[in-house]
Structure formats: C-alpha cells, structure tokens
Amino acid sequence: MEETTQRTQETLTGASTPEIIEEGKTIAIISYLTLIGLVAALVMNSEKKNTYAKFHIRQSLGLMLTGLATTFVSWIPFIGWLFGIVAFFFLLFLWFTGFFNALNAREKVLPILGGKYAEWFKSV
C-alpha cells in the first residue's frame, strides 16, 4: 500500500508542462479560497479540463471535506475539543502549503493527506 502511495505522489508531482500550469494557475489559486472558490474553480475548469487546476481542486476538496469531518468530531466533549484544536492548526498548515504551491506553480501533493486526496478524488 505504501508503494502505491509512493507511485501516486511521484506521478502527480510535476506532471504538467509550464504552458498547462500557466493556463490553470488562476483556477488553482481560486480553488483554495473558501467553499465558494472551490465551486467556482470546478465550474471554471469544467470546459478546459486543465490537469494542473484539477490537481489543486482535488487537494482543496480534500481539505474542505477533512475540515467538515473534523468539525463533527470536535463536538465530542473534551477529547473532541482537543482533537479539533490540533486538527484546526494542522489543516491551516495544509491550506497554506496548498495555497502557496498553487501560487508558486508547484504541483506537489500536500503532506500526509495529499496522496490520499489525489487517490480518493481522481474522478473530479
């Protein structure tokens, strides 16, 4: 299983050409700006099918859904609250990483969860 994740990360990192990255950079950046930005990026990329934008849309979708799941878990008294606080800062770190990757034209999976996001949302 680890080998599959390793291959997924290798094939996703740097798979787009500079022209594809330049075309999809705006959509990739927009995908990280709230839920409305994610929906707007999905709509904007529905015609173009830009692989770079698709990559960042998948990463952003994974972050949004992980944040939603974390919200539900954080309702559990005490342990959930602690988990929620730690998860909030972890997701904030992942969001900044993804946003700056999109901003700097890098197609690099997010640490820890990015490979899974790419695998789970490959149909997006």
Three-state SS for the chain is: CHHHHHHHHHHHCCCCCHHHHHHHHHHHHHHCCHHHHHHHHHHHHHHHCCHHHHHHHHHHHHHHHHHHHHHHHCCCCCHHHHHHHHHHHHHHHHHHHHHHHHHCCCCCCCCCCHHHHHHHCCCC
Q: State the residue range of the domain holding 84.
A: 2-120
Q: Which long-range contacts (CB under 8 A, 24 or more apart) does 77-80 make?
A: none
Query: pLDDT tens-digit profile of 44-61?
Result: 999 888 999 999 999 999
Query: pLDDT tens-digit profile of 10-40?
Result: 445 557 788 888 898 999 999 999 999 999 9
Q: For residue 107, which phi and psi values (nearest 5 degrees)?
A: -105, 75
pLDDT at 75 over 80: yes
Instruction: Report pLDDT for 64.
Output: 95
Instruction: Report pLDDT for 124.
Output: 81
Quote the strand ranges of 1-124, DSSP E: none
- The whole model's pTM is what? 0.81
- Give the count of domains, the chain: 1
